[in-house]
């Protein structure tokens, strides 16, 4: 009996020593919570910023955003699995220090890598977005997501409290992710350039790792000094990498390209798309084909030279509103533009000034249109579509019905649609407009029998649209109503409940 008791005492003593050892390596609960909070928050910040970094090169589509979210989730899953295994095989305290320093370094590499890989990805669309995201975001997300299992390993010294420990750390990690999500959208992006935000995240992570390593006294001073040097070198590289943007708004990377053939004339580029052309000394100059088509349709369908009340969905460079006010004095132009910082850019760089008759409402057009009275507009111009980005909620039957409510009985709806290839989006939008208006015409590139798209302007009204509203010259045609009906026959009517506009689009 004495021998058995001795063995029990030895096992009990060994168990106590093990528990004491675990307790000695455990982090203070507040520190443990803070580490998982910061690491998880950083992953979400980088995920959202990646959307902004990629947009100038591959556009902003549902597929692009999906690729980024999927890549981030893949990194999170990989990091959680590998981080747990590593924590079981090495000193988890040293591991956590290394993860923070490595995660910060990988975060700082994101901006230079995107700027290096991005130009070669233009025109390759969704696959390019997925490829760049995997290369730049997955490693950082994986390393930072390994922090939570490593910290959990340090804190699990009593299996009876394992649920409490894991649940608490999971809750703090989720809180960090939430703060990262809301903080990025509401604070970081409006406050600073994307590259500066990434620099801030990477710097905070590396400094956190260095300070944690110094406090544990387990990491050699030379290694800590190396972390500081790494922060300085990568931070300098990130900060000096040339951005393709002249300005960054909440929604766009904005650039201006001067026209070498015309003085004081500029093309406005949003992300990777030419949106507007503005001749500062001549607001009546309309450079782009589709803009001339819309202007001609307005002049042909409505009494010439009389003032009009026009709602413009999408501002861009405000080319058509300026044209309207210059050619039809006394007109009222209301512009629904979601990007307030783009308006400020137009004021600073493109000579947009407060003008009698010009009213700008900042906000989503679907919401802004609700404030318009019934039968209050002569014309509604839809120009919010981009090469890759389609605001699907401005393409549905429900939106078209709102446009009809605002238009006067003989009013005109002019909608610019960009599509190529099979023209599935243009067909679907033609079918959607035909479902609401009595008369629809289409002006686009190509022959009447074989339109090949690019820009296409749908003209819709409840009264007949005259042929002179269709501006024709070589390679451009205006489709008759019967031809539009045949063209739209294979198009599916888009509704709020089902509007796969991004998937239907064949981008230029």
Domain 2-244 has CATH 2.60.120: no
pLDDT at 419: 85
Fill in the DSSP letter of residue 463: S
Query: Mean pLDDT, to the nearest integer, of 153-179?
Result: 87
Other Cβ atoms closer than 10 A to 198: 28
Domain 283-504 has CATH 3.40.50.150: yes
The model's pLDDT over 411-469, given as tens digits with 9 standing for 90+, comes to: 999 999 988 878 899 999 999 999 999 999 998 887 766 677 778 899 999 999 888 87
- Could you give the CA distance from residue 492 to residue 435 in angstroms, rounded to a whole number? 11
User: Which conformational region is residue 314 in: left (phi greater than 0), alpha (psi within -120 to 50 degrees), or beta?
Assistant: left
User: Which conformational region is residue 450 in: left (phi greater than 0), alpha (psi within -120 to 50 degrees), or beta?
Assistant: beta
CB-side neighbour CA atoms (13 Å) of 389: 21
pLDDT at 189: 79
17, pLDDT greater than 50: no
The model's pLDDT over 191-245, given as tens digits with 9 standing for 90+, comes to: 888 888 888 898 899 888 888 888 777 666 676 666 667 666 666 666 556 667 7
- Could you give the CA distance from residue 339 to residue 28 in angstroms, rounded to a whole number? 45
395, pLDDT greater than 70: yes
Radius of gyration of the chain measured on its C-alpha atoms: 29
Which residue in this structure is represented by tokens 């400094």? Answer: 207
Which residue in this structure is represented by tokens 């950082």? Answer: 140
User: CATH 1.20.1250: which residues of the chain?
Assistant: 2-244
- Could you give the CA distance from residue 400 to residue 431 in angstroms, rounded to a whole number? 11
The model's pLDDT over 270-292, given as tens digits with 9 standing for 90+, comes to: 877 788 999 999 999 999 989 99
- Could you give the CA distance from residue 450 to residue 123 in angstroms, rounded to a whole number? 24
Alpha-helical segments (H) within 146-220: 147-155, 162-183, 189-191, 194-216
Which residue would you say has higher pLDDT here, 386 or 333?
333
Which residue would you say has higher pLDDT here, 477 or 6?
477
Residue (of 468, 405, 478) closest to 441 by Cα position: 478
Query: Mean pLDDT, to the nearest integer, of 296-324?
Result: 92
Helix (H, G, I), strand (E, B) or coil at 248: strand
Residue (of 415, 432, 407, 404) closest to 488 by Cα position: 432
User: CATH 3.40.50.150: which residues of the chain?
Assistant: 283-504
Residue (of 135, 70, 132, 140) closest to 108 by Cα position: 140
Q: Which residues of 435-471 are buried (b: 16+ CB within 10 A; e: fewer)?
A: ebbeebbbbbbbeeeebebbbbbbbbbbeebeeebbb
Which residue would you say has higher pLDDT here, 161 or 394?
394
- Could you give the CA distance from residue 393 to residue 401 in angstroms, rounded to a whole number? 12
- Could you give the CA distance from residue 382 to residue 322 in angstroms, rounded to a whole number? 16
pLDDT at 391: 83
Instruction: Return the HEC string of 99-159.
Output: HHHHHHHHHHHHHHHHHHHHHHHCCCHHHHHHHHHHHHHHHHHHHHHCHHHHHHHHHCCCH
Q: What are the CA-CA distances from residue 502 to residues 50, 89, 271 (Å)? A: 20, 47, 17
pLDDT at 15: 44
Q: Which of 131-140, 316-325, 332-341 has the lowest mean pLDDT?
A: 131-140
Query: Mean pLDDT, to the nearest integer, of 81-105?
Result: 91
Longest dimension (CA), the chain: 113
pLDDT at 439: 92
């Amino acid at each position: 009996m004495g021998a058995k008791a001795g063995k029990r005492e030895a096992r009990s003593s060994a168990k106590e020593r093990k528990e004491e050892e675990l307790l000695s390596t455990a982090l203070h609960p507040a520190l443990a919570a803070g580490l998982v909070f910061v690491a998880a928050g950083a992953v979400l910040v980088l995920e959202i910023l990646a959307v902004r970094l990629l947009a100038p090169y591959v556009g902003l589509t549902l597929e692009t955003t999906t690729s980024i979210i999927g890549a981030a989730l893949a990194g999170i899953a990989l990091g959680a699995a590998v981080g747990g295994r590593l924590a079981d095989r090495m000193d988890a305290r040293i591991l956590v220090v290394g993860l923070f320093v490595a995660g910060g370094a990988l975060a700082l590499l994101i901006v230079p890598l995107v700027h290096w890989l991005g130009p070669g990805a233009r025109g390759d669309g969704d696959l390019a977005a997925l490829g760049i995201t995997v290369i730049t975001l997955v490693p950082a997300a994986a390393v930072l997501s390994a922090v939570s299992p490593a910290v959990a390993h340090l804190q699990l010294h009593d299996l009876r409290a394992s649920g409490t420990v894991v649940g608490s750390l999971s809750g703090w990690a989720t809180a960090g992710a939430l703060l990262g999500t809301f903080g990025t959208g509401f604070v970081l992006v409006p406050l600073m350039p994307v590259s500066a935000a990434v620099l801030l995240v990477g710097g905070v992570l590396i400094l956190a790792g260095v300070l944690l390593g110094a406090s544990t006294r387990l990491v050699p001073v030379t290694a800590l000094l190396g972390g500081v040097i790494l922060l300085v070198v990568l931070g300098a590289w990130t900060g000096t990498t040339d951005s393709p943007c002249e300005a960054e708004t909440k929604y766009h990377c904005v650039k201006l390209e001067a026209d070498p053939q015309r003085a004081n004339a500029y093309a406005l580029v949003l992300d990777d798309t030419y949106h507007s052309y503005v001749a500062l000394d001549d607001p009546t100059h309309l450079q782009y084909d589709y803009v001339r088509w819309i202007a001609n349709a307005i002049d042909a369908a409505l009494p010439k030279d009389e003032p009009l009340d026009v709602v413009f969905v999408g501002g861009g460079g405000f080319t058509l509103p300026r044209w309207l006010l210059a050619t039809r004095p006394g007109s009222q132009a209301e512009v629904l533009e979601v990007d307030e910082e783009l308006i400020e850019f137009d004021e600073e760089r493109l000579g947009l000034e407060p003008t009698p008759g010009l009213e700008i409402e900042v906000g989503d057009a679907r919401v802004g249109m609700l404030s318009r009275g019934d039968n209050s507009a002569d014309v509604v111009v839809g120009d919010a579509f981009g090469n890759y980005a389609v605001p699907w909620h401005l393409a549905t039957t429900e939106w078209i019905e709102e446009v009809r409510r605002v238009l006067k009985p003989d009013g005109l709806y002019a909608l610019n649609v960009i599509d190529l290839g099979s023209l599935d989006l243009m067909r679907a939008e033609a079918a959607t407009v035909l479902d609401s208006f009595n008369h629809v015409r289409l002006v686009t590139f190509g022959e009447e029998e074989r339109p090949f798209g690019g820009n296409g302007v749908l003209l819709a009204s409840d009264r007949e649209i005259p042929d002179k509203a269709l501006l024709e010259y070589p390679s451009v045609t205006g489709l008759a109503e019967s031809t539009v009906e045949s063209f739209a026959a294979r198009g599916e009517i888009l509704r709020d409940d089902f509007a796969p506009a991004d998937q239907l689009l064949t981008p230029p």
